[in-house]
Amino acid sequence: MSTYRGILGFSVQNLSADPSVAVDGQLWYNSTDSVFKYNKSTSFTGWASGGNLGTARRQLGGAGTQTAGLAFGGDTDPGYSALTEEYDGSSWTAGGALPVAKDIAGSCGTQTAGLSFAGSTGGGTVATTEEYDGSSWTNGGTMNTARVSLGSAGTQTAGLGFGGPPSPSATEEYDGSSWTNGGSLSTGRSQMGGAGLQTAAIAFGGATPPVTGVTEEYNGTSWTSGGTLNTARTELAGAGLQTAGLAFGGLVPPTGILQNATEQYNGTSWTNSTNMITARYRLAGARNSPSTSSLAFGGEVGPVGQSATEEFVSGASPFAAWSSGGNMATARNTLAGAGTQTAGLGFGGSAVPTSGTEEYDGSAWTAGGSLSTGRNQLAGTGIQTAALAIGGYTPPTASNATEEYNGTSWTAGGNLPAAKRLLASAGTQTAGLAFGGLIAGATDTTEEYDGSAWTAGGNLNTARYYIAGCGTQTAALGFGGTPPVTDATEEYDGSAWTAGGNLNTARRALAGAGTQTAGLAFGGTIPAETGATEEYNGTSWTTSSGSLSTARSGLGGAGIQTEALAFSGQAGPPGTTTATEEYSSFGPVTETITTT
């Protein structure tokens, strides 16, 4: 009979506890639990929020990849744009302007070798071509036929333009200096998506009219039929290759329904994938990115030009990202939070203390019962239907008030022994923990709540305020804070605090979520606002690949390490924000093997 050792050359490890860091596929025997366990791979496919364009626009050109994207031209409401922006995987910066402002042009290439051709300048349809070298645009060869709303594929030295009025079937090939005619589309159209190479391209969707879902494949000479889109649409975007394409966004006329539908092409047929966060049309994509790692930006939503950027990944593991959620009704900072990603609670806060409470259902915020005492700089813990509001500031004095929420209204609980603000908290409504904060100065005091009264717990090793926390009353985590701005982390066992692994980024006014062995730290000031996110495994912090799209401090937080919620806060010079973001992380998970 075959054995594990005989097959793999080594035995199953016998461990008293699960490894803190397990390898994907690792198998072990947990002697404490008397069970076999293994690390199971999980993956993520979908869209996550990226950094916004500096200038909102529609009908723009796009090229490059997810970490080196290029956006240029478009319509900026009102007027045509010559602006170019470059994406580095997190934010956009200004590049060299096009020689002439234009929109609905063809586009392809990379961030350092981009191509723009044809389009409209407001003075009419043009046949001009422009080449980008990573800093500036220069004129290239003129197309044989001036046109707009055409499809695109290829590179700067091997480009492809197809369709678009007034020659909706015509195809042209670019060699880096001049255009020559190629094979005609079988289905003449405009406003289609395109992707691939000059000798292996795909054209999909568009308006014939009417709207179509037809896909055609180009081999460098002629077009042949491919698989039909599941959702026929116009003014969509695309990326990838002929055998691994991506279609996203668009519009379905005559209904005018905006699309967030995403489809993946395997060279034969289209398969529905995860929807975009924001349905829109007249958007652009990083056309030369792979279908498993693409970028969408700009576009139009009834009828306003957009700046939003979204990043697509397929089958990523491990993966972590923040995506946009529903905005709070009231912008505020130094507020408190509680609950989960799909049942969150935000209360208090603002420069002028508010009593307002809002409840989150996973997509939108609605008004809840008001605090009895309006305040900011408070702490919160618990769940949406059983939360605690602790301490805070009601100018000109700090507060010792505790209030309990039942999902509808707040009622008075037991007061803190001493009034304090800018503190942190953990636990539940009947087993809460409050620690750190500001009294006359930074304090190290800890208090434990039993559902009616507070009693003293063990002091923090480092007195601080603007601190964040997570976990339970008997297994809590405190991290960050000031003065000075610190990276210190401490773990509480129900009686005493001990040092844990330091944050990678020292900061204050941050938020936390999760547990002592699976914590999450996000946002804060360094002193500038940051979107940095870190995950804690009970020993050390690891910087997440996902960073808040809106860097902020004094924000609210809720949830667990793999499904967290960030809301409102101070977003730097623009001021207080209503933005909500949802965090998702995917990676190997521990599973138990059931034996009989």
Q: Cα–Cα distances in Å, from 34 out to 17, 21, 23, 26, 37? A: 10, 20, 21, 17, 10
In this structure, what is the dihedral angle of CA atoms 434, 526, 306, 546, given to the nearest 10 degrees? -70
Taking Cα atoms as reference points, which of 360, 387, 396, 356 lies closest to residue 373? 356
pTM above 0.75, yes or no: no
Do residues 593 and 373 lie in contact, with contact meaning Cβ atoms separated by under 8 Å? Answer: no
Do residues 306 and 56 lie in contact, with contact meaning Cβ atoms separated by under 8 Å? Answer: yes
pLDDT for the residue 324: 84
What number is the average pLDDT over the span 558-587? 92
Question: Does some domain include residue 329?
Answer: no
Question: Does some domain include residue 47?
Answer: no
Question: Does some domain include residue 542?
Answer: yes
H or E stretch covering 194:
strand 193-197
pLDDT for the residue 37: 75
**Rounded Cα–Cα distance for residues 41 and 435 (Å):** 37
Question: Does some domain include residue 110?
Answer: yes
**Domain end marker among 285, 315, 345:** 315
Residue 1 has pLDDT above 60, yes or no: no
**242 in the Ramachandran plot: left (φ > 0), alpha (ψ -120 to 50) or beta?**
alpha
Structural domain of 369: 336-593
Q: Which residue is associated with the tokens 């307002």?
A: 356
pLDDT for the residue 147: 97
Residues 234 and 103 in one domain: yes
Residues 234 and 311 in one domain: yes
Taking Cα atoms as reference points, which of 185, 217, 211 lies closest to residue 198? 217
Local structure of 285: helix, strand or coil: strand
Residues 78 and 135 in one domain: yes
Domain count, the chain: 3
pLDDT band at 23 (very low <50, low <70, confident <90, very high): low
What is the DSSP track for 435-468?
E--BSSSB---EEEE-SS-EEE-PPPSS--BS-E
User: Bridge partners of 27?
Assistant: 38
pLDDT tens-digit readout, 530-545: 999 999 999 999 999 8
**16 in the Ramachandran plot: left (φ > 0), alpha (ψ -120 to 50) or beta?**
alpha
Do residues 345 and 338 lie in contact, with contact meaning Cβ atoms separated by under 8 Å? Answer: yes
Question: Does some domain include residue 322?
Answer: no
Residues 239 and 121 in one domain: yes
pLDDT tens-digit readout, 396-414: 999 999 999 999 999 999 9
Q: Look up the CATH number of the domain holding residue 78.
A: 2.120.10.80
Residues 589 and 499 in one domain: yes
Residues 383 and 360 in one domain: yes
pLDDT band at 590 (very low <50, low <70, confident <90, very high): low
pLDDT tens-digit readout, 74-120: 999 889 999 999 999 989 999 999 999 999 999 999 999 999 999 99
Contacts of 454 (CB under 8 A, 6+ apart): 402, 414, 415, 416, 417, 434, 447, 448
pLDDT for the residue 45: 87
pLDDT tens-digit readout, 235-278: 999 999 999 999 999 999 999 999 999 999 999 999 999 999 89
pLDDT for the residue 49: 84
pLDDT tens-digit readout, 366-403: 999 999 999 999 999 999 999 999 999 999 999 999 99
Taking Cα atoms as reference points, which of 495, 478, 497, 496 lies closest to residue 426? 478
Question: Does some domain include residue 109?
Answer: yes
User: Bridge partners of 224?
Assistant: 217
Q: Which residue is associated with the tokens 């969509």?
A: 236
- Determine what percent of the chain falls in helix, strand and coil, rounding each to the nearest 5: 0, 45, 55
pLDDT band at 498 (very low <50, low <70, confident <90, very high): very high
Do residues 546 and 583 lie in contact, with contact meaning Cβ atoms separated by under 8 Å? Answer: yes
Q: Cα–Cα distances in Å, from 279 out to 77, 296, 473? A: 19, 11, 43
The amino acid that residue 432 corresponds to is G
**149 in the Ramachandran plot: left (φ > 0), alpha (ψ -120 to 50) or beta?**
left
pLDDT tens-digit readout, 509-536: 999 999 999 999 999 999 999 999 999 9
**Percent of the chain whose pLDDT exceeds 70:** 95
Question: Does some domain include residue 552?
Answer: yes
What number is the average pLDDT over the span 147-160? 98
